[in-house]
Structure 1
């Protein structure tokens, strides 16, 4: 098939690798003149790494990623560990922690090597779905056609309102009053100080919790990099959702009462980017009426970052869609059925993870959450999840839910769904 992907972000490039490796003709259209790799740390959760390893990317992830042992919840004022959200033995797959810039550059190179064509300065202004193809019109007058179009153009997607024009429910981003500031510095500058020891934990991601603010930090030994995501409830002068020029002094002032480790990191940092914490509502569908245009990733289900699952959900989406296409001998003609089945499989999981991420944000900001600290993860006890039975509907703080969130085989679940549907016919 001929597949056009709109957007050369992490999701678009990942889809390009997957489908180009399968032998499809893949074209990626990106409106920016170059890649936009800004951003801080990112996790590739076990469910996603399982799929990416099948694309031949394990050696690449080993070069740029560090295995994540656990998430530590720390007191922002003292730096002491308040709770350890440990997922020991959660999966046989690896939970990779890396940096968005390195991940994007790696995906870009692998997409080109797989045979994908990536074109920049290509703004899609109109999509027209016809019975057997989709036509796309670009701002400069060029037009393209494809069997399948994947709109991976982010939370502010231009394609979403076009294909959901008949939907009466809200489809625009829900913007919170919390702003995130991304900081990244060379780790050598952090190591040179005596007041940053708690930032040098390469095995864990630390979540520093405070009233109206939180920080997620990670040190990468392989990349010699320290990354921090500083979140705060605060009004600012941002006109959009994202700005690469944040005010580092404003961040320093806000966190002046935090522990010495965080203050030291901000003293070393010279710049930051910033973006508003936002998510999409749960959309009624992710596809066009004819099923040949599908929203992918943040354009379909942008979520808050505090489950570290946003990118991984996209990879799972791609893996399931790839499975459904591969196992239909007449996929080009049956795309409406395929994409409809795809969203039926994926929406329940993604929407549950979205709710989990949103609750975590409230907890990180110091808002009281019912029973939050009376569940199994309270304290600093390490608990193996090896023999835990995963449960989607369990409470978010239980081992059963954490197991389901992390050790999820999206392709295997898709296979079960398809076989179950066939057996009922």
Structure 2
């Protein structure tokens, strides 16, 4: 065990922030904290990042923040260039609805490529990313982290952006919250388009960037073509109750996948039949947390460690980016020495909006999986019933909203801190369940600038 080594900023008067985890959420948080004028260091247990995962989208609500932090053109270059997406019937490919691709998740690209862009920007800002250093212990009062090699680092604030299997979350909650099966799983594949060059039925999918969604009873498939056919991606969400560990890297059985798409539109079924391999991701559910902050208020959770999203929400990375902006802005408004006030306001500002974004994923999945049941019963079909309803999320400006609500929420929060009675975010003693997605969309969409509009201040 080596002696404790404090993290000394170049200017002791500056706020010091340690971020645990260098995923998209942790990197976005680093940019936000740097933008706020703080000194930041990141610790990541992985020694080297590989180009893992597949499709990921960044909505306008995230892009406006990233643009302020100096990262924009690189992201636009990565994303899908198709103006629209088509929602189709599973068996014959009939187009049931068409809407702008920006309504789904903004610019959709490979998660690994976005990750590289985030890393490069963080490095440009001079922020240190320490790779291959696993955090094994937290001291919430110091606050500090202890690495596996025994070294201890101190800061004013520690951010746990360490993912869905977060160690920081265990400290905040005081126990390990085991994931529960959602009853669904995803088969996922991402590969070079050349694999399909001789498969005639799927040629229309290779000609240029496109996004197509096939919906069926209790299942749906999202297909994404990037770089004018050079890269191809599909994701099938289906019912599954098999008990397999929560993992992004569980190999899938392609025979099972091919059986699953028997009788599907040959345009996509032919592509799946030619797919060499896939991953089997069991989608697990985690109940909303009663708090995102340690008892001392000096360790805060961010991203998947406190608000994981379903794939159908298309907002996981975007909401982590928003949370980064809000946490950094709260720290700036609270001032050095008022970290507990900043983190408690942060969680209160974020919880309802994040919960609505999470519910949007459940709502969309359910609408897609049930739409054709009604159609088959002879009921009149309304294309709006299967459209993605994320547009209400985009006008939101995380920094502007924090500034506007700071006085009221911080005053209320200070009373709670003084009394020692913190209202939980969720649970029997906490606030009631937020609006359903349909209600939230109905109430908020009128305030948006239009279904296809670009938000003020954002260059697209």
Q: TM-score, normalised by structure 2?
A: 0.77
Pairwise CA distance, 1:87: 7.5
1:119 corresponds in structure 2 to 130
Pairwise CA distance, 1:96: 1.3
Give distance in 2, aligned partners of 1:68 and 1:160: 38
Secondary structure of residue in 1 paired with 2:32: helix
Structure 2 counterpart of 1:55, from 47, 69, 76? 69
Secondary structure of residue in 1 paired with 2:311: coil
Structure 2 counterpart of 1:98, from 97, 100, 109? 109
Deviations 1:117-149 (A, max 9, x none): 11222222211122xx41112223222211111
Pair 53,262 (structure 1): closer, same or farther in 2 beyond 3 Å = same
2:345 corresponds in structure 1 to 341
My pick for the range that moved more, 205-214 or 67-76, is 67-76
- When you count helix as a share of all residues, which structure comes out higher? 2
Deviations 1:364-403 (A, max 9, x none): 33478999xxxxx9338xxxxxxxxxxxxxxx9799x643
Pairwise CA distance, 1:246: 2.3
Residue ranges of structure 2 left out of the alignment (5+ in a row): 1-14, 376-380, 415-460
Pairwise CA distance, 1:223: 8.1
Pairwise CA distance, 1:188: 3.7
1:248 corresponds in structure 2 to 254
Q: How does 1:16-415 map to 2 (within 5 A)?
A: 16-67=30-81, 69-86=83-100, 95-130=106-141, 133-165=142-174, 171-190=177-196, 192-200=198-206, 205-221=211-227, 224-236=230-242, 238-328=244-334, 330=335, 332-366=336-370, 378-379=382-383, 402-415=390-403
Structure 1 contact 178–234 (Cα < 8 Å) conserved:
yes
Give distance in 2, aligned partners of 1:338 and 1:370: 48
Structure 1 contact 207–364 (Cα < 8 Å) conserved:
no
Pair 398,413 (structure 1): closer, same or farther in 2 beyond 3 Å = farther
Pair 259,18 (structure 1): closer, same or farther in 2 beyond 3 Å = same
Pair 222,59 (structure 1): closer, same or farther in 2 beyond 3 Å = farther
Secondary structure of residue in 1 paired with 2:313: coil
Deviations 1:292-324 (A, max 9, x none): 111110000112110201111001111112222
Pairwise CA distance, 1:278: 2.1
For these two proteins, the number of residue pairs brought into alignment is 395
Pair 223,310 (structure 1): closer, same or farther in 2 beyond 3 Å = farther
RMSD of Structure 2 on Structure 1 (CA): 3.1
Structure 2 contact 43–134 (Cα < 8 Å) conserved:
yes
Deviations 1:227-266 (A, max 9, x none): 1112222355733433242223322222232211222222
Structure 2 contact 368–386 (Cα < 8 Å) conserved:
no
- Return the index of the structure with the highest Cα Rg: 2
Secondary structure of residue in 2 paired with 1:155: coil
Residue ranges of structure 1 left out of the alignment (5+ in a row): 372-376, 381-395
